[in-house]
Amino acid sequence: MGIMNTIFEMQKIRDEAVSLGHDAKNWNVLGKDTYTLVCKDCMLTTIYNEHSTPMQSGDSLNNKCVKPEKKLKKK
Ligand SMILES: [Zn+2]
């Protein structure tokens, strides 16, 4: 699989996560050919590895984002 294909796949996964409400903008490099996408709000993680089957695993593509309760400043 070429690098362009990998980038395309990763963009697709990220867009899918974002469409579920996740605040996940950037992939982190976890190790060799392994990347993680972590939602800043609910901490759900998607793992991508171009050599595993399926290439993607994790929670953020199966679950809608659950936003944490915002800490409101007390007056
Ligand atoms: Zn989320």
pLDDT at 18: 96
The string of pLDDT tens digits covering residues 8-37 is 999 999 999 999 999 999 999 998 889 999
Residue 46 has pLDDT above 80, yes or no: yes
Task: Quote the CA–CA distance of 30 and 48 in Å, as a whole number.
Answer: 10
Residue 72 has pLDDT above 70, yes or no: no
Kindly report the average pLDDT of the chain as a whole number: 87
Distance (angstroms) between ligand 1 centre and the Cα of 70 equals 14
* pTM (two decimals): 0.79
Distance (angstroms) between ligand 1 centre and the Cα of 74 equals 26
Distance (angstroms) between ligand 1 centre and the Cα of 5 equals 25
Task: Quote the CA–CA distance of 68 and 75 in Å, as a whole number.
Answer: 21
